[in-house]
Amino acid sequence: MTLSDQDELLLSAFIDGELSSIEAFQFENRLRAEPGLAAALEARRALRTALRADRADDIPSPQLQRRIAGLARKPSSTGSWQSMAASFILGLLLAGGIAWGVIEHGSRQDVTDQVVSAHIRGLMSSAPTDVLSSERHTIKPWFNGRINFAPVVADLSAEGYTLVGARIDVVDLSPVATLVYSRGKHIISVTEMPGAEAPASSTSRNREQGYLLFAWSDGRMRYWAVSDAAPEELERFVKLFQAASSTS
């Protein structure tokens, strides 16, 4: 059969989710009544699947990833900054060995701040996630090639926390994984990056720019959970997430 130009447009707009709900409703009725139209829809869905078939492997080479990362931290300027910081630290150490706590606290504060800022940006943005999916089997491969570690993606839907999607945030100039969960009207961001700053057992909790933040590490990865949910609510989420991540 030959589709009219009008039907061709409708069909495309329908599978792209670009029809209004009324138009989509009418089109669904036509699909049930017209097998030719339904078959044309199937062909277009098959084309979509075929186009996406090698998508997970279609990622830039490690060399290119390194070159771009290098551009983000040119040695000419960060180098001078680092050497300045190093001599500053050395100076402080020589001055009396009081520096460590302050410096360490300072950098941790900074990471916390970046994680919370990313959460806030996500809330304000029209698209709080780069990939929209409640399926952990969709989310996990999506990170492939975007970051160089495998983040924990916990399915907590049975406990009432819906996985909304994921995005890449940048902390200390490195891309990190952020998962977005929702419960009621509250959004919870979980940011993950490799490293083992905090001891495995402790979970620290503080308030930053009005948001509550839990930070912990499992010895391999560092985690931050940020939300405007009630403290006990977020704490429950964190415990569930920790339990799920230790078994997965």
Partner 1 sequence: MWYDTTEQARFAEVFTPHLVDAFRLAHWLAGSRADAEDIVQEASMRAFKGISGFAGGDSRAWVLTIVRNTSYSWLAKNRPSALVLAGDLDEQAQSRLDQPDPDPTPEARLIAQVEAETVRKAMAALPAPFREVLVLREIHELSYKAIADIAGLPIGTVMSRIARARRLMLASLGGIAA
The DSSP letter of residue 40 is H
Applying CB under 8 A, which of residues 66, 67, 207, 239 lies at the interface with partner 1?
A: 67
CB 222 within 8 A of CB 195: yes
Site string for partner 1, 124-163 (x = CB under 8 A): --xx--x--------------xx-----------------
| Residue 157 structure tokens | 């839907």
How near is the Cβ of 86 to partner 1 at its closest, in Å? 16
Selected range binding partner 1 among 9-17, 150-158, 205-213, 224-232, rule: CB under 8 A: 9-17
**CA 36 – CA 42 distance, rounded (Å):** 10
**CA 37 – CA 11 distance, rounded (Å):** 8
Applying CB under 8 A, which of residues 21, 49, 201, 247 lies at the interface with partner 1?
A: 49
CB 196 within 8 A of CB 178: no
Burial state string for 109-136 with b = 16 or more CB within 10 A and e = fewer than 16? eebbebbbbbbbebeeeeebbebeeeeb
Q: Is 40 in the site for partner 1 (CB under 8 A)?
A: yes
Applying CB under 8 A, which of residues 141, 160, 175, 194 lies at the interface with partner 1?
A: 175
**CA 45 – CA 192 distance, rounded (Å):** 34
The beta strand positions in 3-104, using DSSP E, are none
DSSP 171-217: ETTEEEEEEEEEETTEEEEEEEEE---S-TT-EEEEEETTEEEEEEE
Q: Is 68 in the site for partner 1 (CB under 8 A)?
A: yes
Applying CB under 8 A, which of residues 23, 26, 29, 53 lies at the interface with partner 1?
A: 53
Applying CB under 8 A, which of residues 85, 98, 173, 200 lies at the interface with partner 1?
A: 173
How near is the Cβ of 2 to partner 1 at its closest, in Å? 4
Q: Is 44 in the site for partner 1 (CB under 8 A)?
A: yes
Nearer to partner 1, 1 or 22 (CB): 1
Tell me the C-alpha to C-alpha distance, in Å, between residue 133 and each of 71, 137, 174, 180, 206: 31, 9, 24, 10, 29
Nearer to partner 1, 68 or 86 (CB): 68
Judged by the rule CB under 8 A, the positions of this chain that interact with partner 1 are 1-3, 8-9, 11-13, 16, 18, 36, 39-40, 42-55, 58-61, 63-65, 67-69, 71-74, 76-78, 81, 126-127, 130, 145-146, 167-170, 173-175
